[in-house]
Amino acid sequence: MEKLTNRVCEMLAKYESNGMFQSELWKKLKLSSRDGSRLALKLERTGIINREKLLEKGRWTYKLILKKTPISTQSIENAPCLICPVEQKCSLDGEISPRTCQWIDEWVTADLKKPKVSQ
Ligand code: SF4
């Protein structure tokens, strides 16, 4: 059940606040609409998703929206601060500062040169 919940969260996270039609999600997860609806109700009760009732092609259905989008750690991958030997002495207004840090500068520059992969 936890694995299925994680998969639902991963899929819904891609749609952010736009949400996803539940029928679309059930198809991707190969769930029957009965099992899918039960799961959606459960996720709503536990506060993981919101269900928004909508009229789609003349039929009532639900859009499922993840309440909290998980934060990706991708943006801080390889950040020099994570392994910095002088991190304790670093502050915005200090002598050692991210404003003048060469490691930060190199890291940001290297990241900007990376080809962007669309999701
Ligand atoms: S900004 Fe530079 S000096 Fe400061 S913690 Fe990060 S890597 Fe270290």
Say which CATH class 2-66 falls into: mainly alpha
Res. 26 pLDDT band, cuts 50 70 90 = very high
- What 3-state class would DSSP assign to 26? helix
- Ligand 1 contacts CB of residue 79 (under 6 A): no
Residue with the smallest CA separation from ligand 1 atom 6 is 81
- Ligand 1 contacts CB of residue 9 (under 6 A): no
Q: Does residue 119 surpass a pLDDT of 50?
A: no
Distance (Å) from CA 78 to ligand 1 centroid:
12
pLDDT reported for residue 72: 66
For the segment 66-92, the average pLDDT, to the nearest whole number, is 85
**Measured CA distances, 107 to 15, 85, 86 (Å):** 30, 16, 16
For the segment 87-106, the average pLDDT, to the nearest whole number, is 94
* Per-domain residue ranges of the chain: 2-66, 75-113
